[in-house]
Amino acid sequence: MFYETVKEYKPIRYKGYDIFLELKINNMMIASCVHDDDNYSFIDRFMDYSKEDVINILKDKIKNRKDQ
């Protein structure tokens, strides 16, 4: 299922990750997190979250991932 992209946000750099955010037409935020070492890259989807909420959730996930 593919939805049209409404907006692409400027990438954010955090602890070795580049975070790319795309807002889709159905109010779904797609977050692609790419680490400098490709073994730690992941993609998450969020429905009805603000950009700031998504960024905070991803930063917490990255922080917890780094601790393991």
- pLDDT, one tens digit for every residue, the chain (68 residues): 567 889 999 999 999 999 999 999 888 999 999 998 877 889 999 999 999 999 999 999 999 876 55
CB-count burial class (<10 Å; 0-12, 13-18, 19+) for 28? middle
**pTM of this structure:** 0.84
Direct distance between the N- and C-terminal alpha carbons of the chain, in angstroms, rounded to an integer: 33
